Amino acid sequence: MQHSSTYRMRVKENIRMTAPDCRDTVVKLTLEPINTTLASFIPGQFVMIGLPGLDDPAPGYFAIASTPENPQVYEFFIKDAGPLSSYLCHVDVGAILEVDGPMGKGFDLTRFKGDDVYLIGVGTGIAPLHSVCLNIVRHREDYGRVIIYAGFLTELHQLLTDELDEWAKYDIEVSVSLEIGHEDWDGPIGYVQHALESDKLDGAHAVACLAGMSSMVDACTKTLQNLGFNDNRILLNH
Ligand SMILES: Cc1cc2nc3c(=O)[nH]c(=O)nc-3n(C[C@H](O)[C@H](O)[C@H](O)COP(=O)(O)OP(=O)(O)OC[C@H]3O[C@@H](n4cnc5c(N)ncnc54)[C@H](O)[C@@H]3O)c2cc1C
């Protein structure tokens, strides 16, 4: 585990990720450190982001979506859900933010070399899994089957569509569930735990990394336990 640090970071990029006609906004926010280098981190760890010298809006936690192998920046996927996240979704390039971290356990896969890996997340929960996946891509031979189970509300809410397609070339399978589907959607419709159930995942030589809202994490944990996963093969990042 790294020691937590406090940084002043500059907004390098702020790019909308959700479709232009989606009523919800998720952005990719890229922050660069000012006159310092960033601490490395375990994929899956998160930081606390706040406005320098201000308590309002209160600082909040955001998972690092980028890879520790690019120490020049931290990237985040942020949904406009309240005062802080709304500020961050609309913040200008060049603005200065205060960042504490990295913190949390992350998803430490070093114990699971040779095993299958299931990365399961909904909405912006895909951020810490994105970091894990970038790491797996660089060390693909260390793992067996790798599947990303991503869940979004509608097709317009999907994140990273092109990048998820791209990961097929690294033999990473992708299952995208839409909570609200349509007749042309050829993936699963419903909650992501239903996709785990219908694929009858085998937990004997596998590890599952879960990220997202607590109701989703609880439901997926129960599903995985019912499928025979031991609790020590169901990982949370915090
Ligand atoms: C360990 C950890 C990691 C997190 N990582 C991320 C991340 O990578 N990206 C991100 O956008 N958020 C993330 N969050 C949530 C984030 O910390 C804030 O709670 C969120 O941005 C809303 O804060 P706010 O101050 O803008 O609004 P608040 O007034 O605190 O919240 C407004 C409402 O939005 C709900 N809400 C919060 N987050 C979400 C969400 N992502 N989707 C749907 N509803 C939500 C809250 O329950 C609340 O009802 C994470 C939280 C934790 C604990």
> What separation in Å is there between the alpha carbon of 81 and the centre of ligand 1?
6
Q: What is the CATH superfamily name and number for domain 5-103?
A: Translation factors (2.40.30.10)
Distance between CA atoms of 205 and 188, rounded to whole angstroms?
25
Token couple for 113: 């070399």
What is the identity of the amino acid at 36?
T
Q: Is 153 in the pocket of ligand 1 (CB under 6 A)?
A: no
CATH 2.40.30.10 range(s) for the chain read 5-103
Number of other CB atoms surrounding residue 64 within 10 Å = 30
Q: Is 215 in the pocket of ligand 1 (CB under 6 A)?
A: no
Q: Is 124 in the pocket of ligand 1 (CB under 6 A)?
A: yes
CATH 3.40.50.80 range(s) for the chain read 110-236
- Rounded to whole angstroms, the maximal C-alpha distance in the chain is 52
Q: Is 238 in the pocket of ligand 1 (CB under 6 A)?
A: yes
Select 110-236's CATH number: 3.10.20.30, 1.10.3470.10, 2.40.50.100, 3.40.50.80. 3.40.50.80
The DSSP secondary-structure symbol of 150 reads E
Cis bond upstream, residue 102 (ω within 30): yes
State the pairing for strand pair 46-50/60-63.
Answer: antiparallel
Number of other CB atoms surrounding residue 57 within 10 Å = 15
Task: Kindly give the confidence (pLDDT) of every residue in the chain, 238 residues in length, as a single tens digit, with 9 standing for 90 and above.
Answer: 445 689 999 999 999 999 999 999 999 999 999 988 898 999 999 999 999 988 899 999 999 999 999 889 999 999 999 999 999 999 999 999 999 999 999 999 999 999 999 999 999 999 999 999 999 999 999 999 999 999 999 999 999 999 999 999 999 999 999 999 998 999 999 999 999 999 998 888 999 999 999 999 999 999 999 999 999 999 999 9
pTM of the model as a whole: 0.94
